[in-house]
Amino acid sequence: MRTLLLVLTIGLFGFANLSAVAARQATPTSSPTAGESYAHPEMLADAQWLQTQRGESTVKVVALTSADDFAAGHVPGAAQIDWGDLDLVETSDQAVATWREEIEQKLTALGLTMSDTVIIYDGGTFYAARLWWILHQLGHQDVRILNGGYPAWVIANGEVETGPSTVSPAAQPYIGTPNESSIATLSEVEAALDNPAVSLVDARAPNEYAAGHIPGAVNIEFTQNGEPDLPHYWKSAADLLTMYEAVGVTPDRTVIPYCVSGVRSAATYFTLRLLGFENISLFTGSWREWSSHPELPVER
Instruction: Give me the tens of pLDDT residue by residue for the chain, a chain 300 residues long.
Output: 333 334 333 333 333 332 333 333 333 334 544 446 999 999 999 999 999 999 899 999 999 999 999 999 999 999 999 999 999 999 999 999 999 999 999 999 999 999 999 999 999 999 999 999 999 999 999 999 999 999 999 999 999 999 999 999 999 999 999 999 999 999 999 999 999 999 999 999 999 999 999 999 999 999 999 999 999 999 999 999 999 999 999 999 999 999 999 999 999 999 999 999 999 999 999 999 999 999 999 999
Alpha-carbon distance of 300 to 284, in angstroms, equals: 21
Domain with CATH 3.40.250.10 in the chain: 2-155, 180-290
* CATH number for domain 2-155, candidates 3.90.950.10, 3.40.250.10, 3.30.450.20, 3.40.228.10: 3.40.250.10
**Nearest-CA neighbor of 220 among 267, 184, 172?**
267
SS3 269: helix
Distance, CA of 62 to chain centre: 12
Note the residue count of the chain: 300
Alpha-carbon distance of 177 to 1, in angstroms, equals: 42
Alpha-carbon distance of 145 to 41, in angstroms, equals: 10
The pLDDT value given to residue 36: 67
Alpha-carbon distance of 47 to 51, in angstroms, equals: 6
Alpha-carbon distance of 273 to 240, in angstroms, equals: 12
**Nearest-CA neighbor of 146 among 130, 122, 125?**
122
- C-beta atoms surrounding 192 within 10 Å: 19
Full strand arrangement of the beta sheet holding 44-45: 44-45, 143-146, 117-121, 59-64, 79-81
Alpha-carbon distance of 63 to 50, in angstroms, equals: 13
What's the CATH code, domain 180-290?
Answer: 3.40.250.10
**Nearest-CA neighbor of 128 among 71, 63, 78, 73?**
63
Inter-residue long-range contacts of 6-9, CB under 8 Å, 24+ positions, other chains counted: 6/151, 6/154, 6/155, 6/230, 8/72, 8/73, 9/69, 9/123, 9/124, 9/150, 9/151, 9/154
CA dihedral 142, 143, 149, 152 (to 10 degrees): 0
The pLDDT value given to residue 151: 98
Alpha-carbon distance of 19 to 268, in angstroms, equals: 28
